[in-house]
Amino acid sequence: MAHLESKVAVITGASAGIGAAIARDLSAAGAKLVLTARRRERLDALAKELGGPVATLAADIADPATPERLLALARERFGAADILVNNAGILRVGPVDTFDLGGIEDMVATNYTAVVRASYVFARAMKAAGTGIIVNISSIGAGIVAPGVGVYGGLKRAVEMFTDSLRIELVGTGVRAGFVAPGTTTTEIFEDMKAHGQPGWDSYVTPLQPEDIARAVRFLIDQPAHAAVPRVHVYAAGDTF
């Protein structure tokens, strides 16, 4: 049943995988969407598929100007921004001897700095409006200590700590914040691993699908005003972490 028809949802990393699944789910529930990713053709194809009220912005979420541009676009097209889903992320892994040091800055900028910046930009606007929901996509990797994944896991753990702190700071303002931590999910995030001759983590277990994570995001969003679900972990049945 469509019950988000009065809401405007902004989704980052929306061109594929979990982001696209969240867009489909929220669109089906009646939300108006503002979608961003770097690949314009993917965004245009998704907007055409959804067919509802959708605005797109082809941009790099790591660009410091992008969150403000997203907020301005949401206000210009739909008059508000009620929901922010910080989904964009990249994965780089590898042992000490071969880890690509050049990829560290991109991971920090996309997986952490952009999440913090967008959360603050939208939280300020939501506080002024007296309502809003911020959902940050983390990973069960935030709680896994294993060789080669320290940068990715460390950044996701930082996202979770930041989100918890933001949630507490926003208590009483009408704005809620929480995170969803997916387990092993089949998406393009493993393409870099596979390109470097490593098996993707989704090859070890029967993985989750992006739609599973979209349902978890909706569960967090769907809570009534007097309730908050700040953390949702979704594991693939075969995950043993």
Which residues form the catalytic set? 152
CB distance 187 to 17 below 8 Å: yes
Q: Which of 109, 84, 104, 4 is nearest to 52 (CA)?
A: 4
Output the six-digit token pair for 6: 């009065």
Write out the DSSP string of 71-114: HHHHHHHHS---EEEE---------TTT--GGGHHHHHIIIIIH
Tell me phi and psi for residue 89, to 5 degrees. -165, 155
18 vs 159: CA distance, rounded Å: 17
Angle formed at CA 121 by CA 157 and CA 219, multiple of 5 degrees: 55
Angle formed at CA 218 by CA 215 and CA 221, multiple of 5 degrees: 160
| Residue ranges in 65-223 assigned as alpha helix (H) | 66-78, 104-108, 114-129, 150-169, 191-195, 210-221
